[in-house]
């Protein structure tokens, strides 16, 4: 730990988000998952939902940390990813039928992935960003959809797919941030943390401390 540096809480239990932070030399002091109602509000736009949920996660985790006496003065980092076709928000698929419906909708067409970021300082200051990535899938055959469903990779994933896995082979074109689609846009994350005075570059100067190196 860097003497005097603020602690960092990642408001997530996602191994993907943790791995992305580790990739840039950041090892959060605490991992505290957020449990918020992710139901869209009436007529809510996808970009608004991603921003709202990221903020809600950060706020909830700040409260949970202080109640538990853990990292009460830490910086909190939260993110949420929403997949949409036009104004239609796709679910985080929990059943095979949901995943199949998502894949058939995405087949052969473009969609957007909105990733909201929220950083709360120990003083309560809010810093937010929204990253918009556009993706086009190839036309998927019934055999491909059935095989993907059998893989189970879709379970709990926004839009019913995980781009960092098998579904990466469905992508014809992407415009935006790959890392944002996985779960955490690194460029914007670094910018927000630096704005809060978090020493993002410390481990870059000490390669032995980098995770996975």
By annotation, the residues acting in catalysis are 80
CB atoms within 10 A of CB 195: 12
Beta bridge partners of 134: 112, 175
DSSP at 44: -
Element (H, E) at 182: helix 178-182
Picking from 83, 91, 101, 92, the residue whose alpha carbon sits closest to that of residue 46 is: 83
For residue 160, give both structure tokens. 């019913």
CB atoms within 10 A of CB 146: 13
DSSP at 77: E
């Amino acid at each position: 730990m860097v003497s005097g540096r603020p602690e960092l809480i990642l408001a997530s239990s996602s191994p993907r988000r943790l791995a992305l932070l580790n990739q840039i030399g950041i090892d959060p002091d605490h991992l505290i998952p957020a449990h918020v109602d992710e139901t869209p509000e009436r007529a809510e736009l996808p970009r608004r939902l991603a921003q709202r949920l990221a903020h809600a996660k950060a706020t909830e985790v700040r409260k949970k940390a202080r109640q538990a006496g853990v990292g009460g003065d830490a910086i909190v980092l939260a993110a949420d990813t929403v997949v949409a076709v036009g104004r239609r928000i796709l679910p985080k698929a929990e059943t095979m039928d949901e995943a199949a419906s998502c894949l058939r909708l995405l087949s052969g067409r473009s969609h957007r992935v909105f990733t909201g970021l929220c950083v709360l300082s120990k003083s309560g200051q809010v810093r937010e960003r929204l990253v918009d990535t556009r993706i086009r899938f190839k036309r998927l055959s019934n055999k491909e959809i059935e095989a993907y469903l059998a893989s189970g990779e879709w379970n709990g994933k926004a839009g019913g797919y995980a781009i960092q896995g098998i579904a990466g082979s469905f992508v014809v074109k992407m415009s935006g941030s790959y890392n944002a689609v996985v779960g955490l846009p690194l460029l914007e994350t670094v910018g927000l943390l630096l704005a809060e005075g978090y020493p993002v570059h410390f481990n870059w100067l000490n390669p032995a401390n980098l995770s996975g190196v």
